[in-house]
Amino acid sequence: MAAAALTGFGGALLLSERNSGRHAAPAPGPSATAPPAPPPSAGRAFLREGDAGPEVTELQERLLRVPDVYRAGTTDGGYDATLSAAVARFQLRYGVRGDETGVYGDDTRLALESRTGGPAT
């Protein structure tokens, strides 16, 4: 009985909308929703193991200027396990917080630049 009452009520609503010439706005679908929020690291420049390029080379060169952090390190532009360990050593030695261990994020970059002559130009 309750189901019949609900069906009758729903039908009455549909008829009244048709008769008035107005239609209910469609429910927002996937295209009407806001874009998904970016991940927490979006907008943050960071480098991690597996990355390569001139930014990694600059990181390697800066770490070589800090005594006993990047021992026997190369400047080949590859972010390998040795570089990751050097970044982690730098983070530990200088109390850098806010970046993943071994990841060259904004906090580590600022700390390293302050000890090696500021941002690259």
pLDDT at 92: 97
Q: How far is CA 40 from the centre of its chain?
A: 4
Residue 94 lies in a domain: yes
Q: 0.85 exceeded by the pTM?
A: no
Residue 41 lies in a domain: no
Residue 60 lies in a domain: yes
Residue 108 lies in a domain: yes
Residue 9 lies in a domain: no
Residue 20 lies in a domain: no
Of the pLDDT bands very low, low, confident and very high (cuts 50, 70, 90), residue 34 is low
Residue 64 lies in a domain: yes
Mean pLDDT, the chain, as a whole number?
A: 78
Closest CA to 10 of 26, 29, 18: 18
For residue range 48-106, list pLDDT tens digits in order: 999 999 999 999 999 999 999 998 899 999 999 999 999 999 999 999 999 999 999 99
**Structurally, how many domains does the chain consist of?**
1
pLDDT at 13: 45
Q: What CATH number is attached to the domain comprising 60?
A: 1.10.101
The residue range of the domain holding 111 is 54-116
Of the pLDDT bands very low, low, confident and very high (cuts 50, 70, 90), residue 27 is low
Residue 107 lies in a domain: yes
Give the Å distances, CA to CA, from 48 to 5, 84, 101, 118, 121: 63, 7, 10, 21, 22
